Amino acid sequence: MTIEELLKGEGKNIEFKRQLPEKSEKYIKTIIAFANTAGGKLIVGIDDVSRYVIGVEESSVFQIMDAIANAVADMCEPQIVPDISFQTINHKCIVIIEIYPGSNRPYYILSQGRDKGTYIRFAGTTRPADAFRIKELELQGSNLSYDEMICIGYEITGEAVQKLCGDIRKYMLEDAVTDEAKKVIKQVTLLHLENWGLVKRIEGKLLATNAFVLLTSDKFRFSRIQCARFKGTERVVFIDKREFTGPLYEQVEETYQFVLKHINLGAQIDGLVRKDIYELPVESIRESIVNAVTHRNYMENSCIQIAVFDDRVEITSPGMLYGDLSIETIKQGKSKIRNKGVAEVFNRMKIIEEWGTGISRIIAGCRDYHLPDPEFLEIGDSFRVNIFRKQESSQESSQESSQETVVENSYQDLNATQISMLHMMKEDEILRQQDIALALNLSLGAIKKNVLILKGKGFLERTGSTKKGRWIVH
């Protein structure tokens, strides 16, 4: 390692130790965490705060290396084989323990047992793995995915099979360009679903996998997408909010349309032809949504969230990068499939275009639009993509800011809920009060009460009948 690399400091894949701790467990936790995630390097002889190269006594280098090798062999289960070396920087010697991503996960401290002794890297720190994380590590070690597992107690219906088969074929036909290509696309049958691992026949009984459930129902509470358009650049005031459930491929389409609704649409003149064009590369938007749905961790008790701000579109999916992937490797085109059943069907439906090209196409789309490169982040146990919108000219921004100030000043006596309601009603004048309550996570009674307040203050009017009327926002 160069001195420049060292000065970057600690992170997900690197940790410093001023000296080798007397208690081996203190550094074995980190070695296990590296093996359970994307690998990494533990460096002895660098201060973890100042990043100053202190070094170790040259006469004790081999003794330190032997002690580390013995501790790893005695304390880790399954076996981990570290690459232990030393290097001289600024005339000082450091010891480098490199750990590669393991294939026999989960790795744990033998004396603590699997449930308490399994560790992972989490936002640049080493932490105990919870039960869900251990379960996913077990699946990785067995080369299985969560969506391949049988969904106990879920009944397969003919209607669900027929709809999924019909929808898969419909997507395939829509992707076919010529009539000849359409003719060779056959009916999708239950046998296809079996071959693709969506349903399994065990002792003559047909059983649904989690993938089949995800693609045909909304049984799993957190397998949904929460979408919001916020005012400004912070999660404070809602302009619009929706939650999409049901088959995953339908969620992709509905979410995509939600984002398009909330970004600007302009026109480009090419000769005599007028072409509508969005401010953001729609392929990058769609690919980001598809990636989130395909590669999220469905064992996590949280939903995918899509947030549209004035300056960016933010796509957040539950679960850190899968297996030994890192942000650097996914940019290079490396890909691993977390949900094999879902990915198989999405590939058949051409929702996934080519394996391993999603991230590079998201970046390329933004560059084609002369936008900043998208930002890829691991935030806690989630993965996020930020696609940045073009900033308006200072004059336009000043005019808009002035107009917004007038509007906000007129709303100064209203609370955040009432302002959000007005924004939503202005966006959709036939919006039902039940939908507003659901979007803002409030009771219907609370919405009705705020409607009366807004009417009384002259901000809101209702025209027409109860069922077919419209909102008028002043």
* Residue among 156, 149, 145, 185 nearest 168 (CA): 185
Place of tokens 């940045």: 388
CATH superfamily placement of domain 3-141: Schlafen, AAA domain (3.30.950.30)
Q: Which residues contact 367 (CB under 8 A, 6 or more apart)?
A: 373
User: For 431-455, what is the mean pLDDT?
Assistant: 82
Q: Do 343 and 351 meet the contact criterion of CB atoms below 8 Å apart?
A: no
Mean pLDDT of 17-39: 94
Whether the pLDDT of residue 260 is over 80: the answer is yes
> Do you find a cis peptide bond into 106, omega within 30 degrees of 0?
yes
Contact 318, 238 (CB under 8 A): no
Q: Looking at residues 115-138, what average pLDDT do you find?
A: 91
User: With pLDDT > 70 as the criterion, what percentage of the chain qualifies?
Assistant: 91
Banded pLDDT at 357 (limits 50, 70, 90): confident
Residue 184 above 90 pLDDT?
Answer: yes
Q: How far apart are the first and last CA of the chain?
A: 64
Cis bond before residue 78 (omega within 30° of 0) = yes
- Collect all residues with Cβ–Cβ distance below 8 Å to 198 and sequence separation of at least 6: 164, 208, 209, 211, 212, 215, 341, 344, 345
| DSSP-derived secondary structure letter, 47 | -
Is 402 a residue whose pLDDT tops 60? Answer: no
* Mean pLDDT in residue range 2-18: 75
CA atoms within a 13 Å half-sphere pointing along the CA-CB vector of 137: 28
Does residue 286 surpass a pLDDT of 50? yes
pLDDT at 7: 59
Residue 275: the pLDDT is 65
More confident residue, 13 or 98: 98
Which residues lie below 8 Å from residue 371, measured CB to CB, with a gap of 6+? Answer: 280, 281, 387, 388, 389, 390
Taking 50 as the threshold, does the pLDDT of residue 161 lie above it?
A: yes
Q: What pLDDT was estimated at residue 269?
A: 60
Evaluate if residue 194 carries a pLDDT over 60.
Answer: yes
In this predicted structure, the answer to whether residue 242 has a pLDDT above a threshold of 50 is yes
pLDDT at 355 over 80: no
State how far the Cα of 317 lies from the Cα of 300, in Å rounded to an integer.
10
- Domain edges within the chain: 3-141, 148-214, 225-388, 394-473
Q: Which pLDDT does position 401 carry in this prediction?
A: 44
222-223-229-232 Cα dihedral, nearest 10 degrees? 60
Q: What is the pLDDT of residue 43?
A: 94
- In angstroms, rounded to a whole number, what is the distance separating the alpha carbons of residues 384 and 319? 10
pLDDT for 162-177, tens place per residue? Answer: 999 999 999 999 988 8
Domain 394-473 has CATH 1.10.1370.30: no
Domain spanning 225-388 has what CATH number?
Answer: 3.30.565.60
Angle between helices 248-261 and 282-295 (to 10 degrees): 150
Residue 19 pLDDT level (bands cut at 50, 70, 90):
very high
Give the pLDDT of residue 397: 44
How much of the chain exceeds pLDDT 90, in percent? Answer: 66
Instruction: Confirm if 193 and 161 have CB atoms less than 8 A apart.
Output: yes
What sign for the dihedral angle of Cα 240, 245, 246, 252? positive
Band of the pLDDT at 460, cuts 50, 70, 90? Answer: confident
405 — pLDDT class (breaks 50, 70, 90): very low
Tokens, residue 47: 């201060």
pLDDT score, position 393:
46
- The CA distance from 57 to 44, in Å, is 11
Report the mean per-residue pLDDT for the chain.
89
Query: Residue 406: pLDDT band by 50, 70, 90 thresholds?
Result: very low
Binned at pLDDT 50, 70 and 90, residue 431 comes out as confident
Q: What is the pLDDT of residue 268?
A: 65
In 3D, which of 242, 285, 295, 250 has the Cα closest to residue 265?
Answer: 285
DSSP E strands in 168-247: the ranges are: 199-202, 205-208, 225-230, 238-244
Confidence of residue 192 (pLDDT cuts 50, 70, 90): very high
* Distance of alpha carbon 256 from the chain centroid: 15
Q: Report which of residues 207 and 431 the model is more confident about.
A: 207
- The mean pLDDT value for 184-197 works out to 95
Q: How far apart are the C-alpha atoms of 154 and 421, rounded to whole Å?
A: 39
Check whether 399 has a pLDDT greater than 60. no
Integer CA distances (angstroms), 238 to 256, 260, 362, 439, in order: 19, 17, 27, 9
pLDDT average, residue stretch 279-286: 95
Q: What pLDDT is recorded for position 270?
A: 59
Mean pLDDT lowest among 19-33, 342-356, 408-422: 408-422
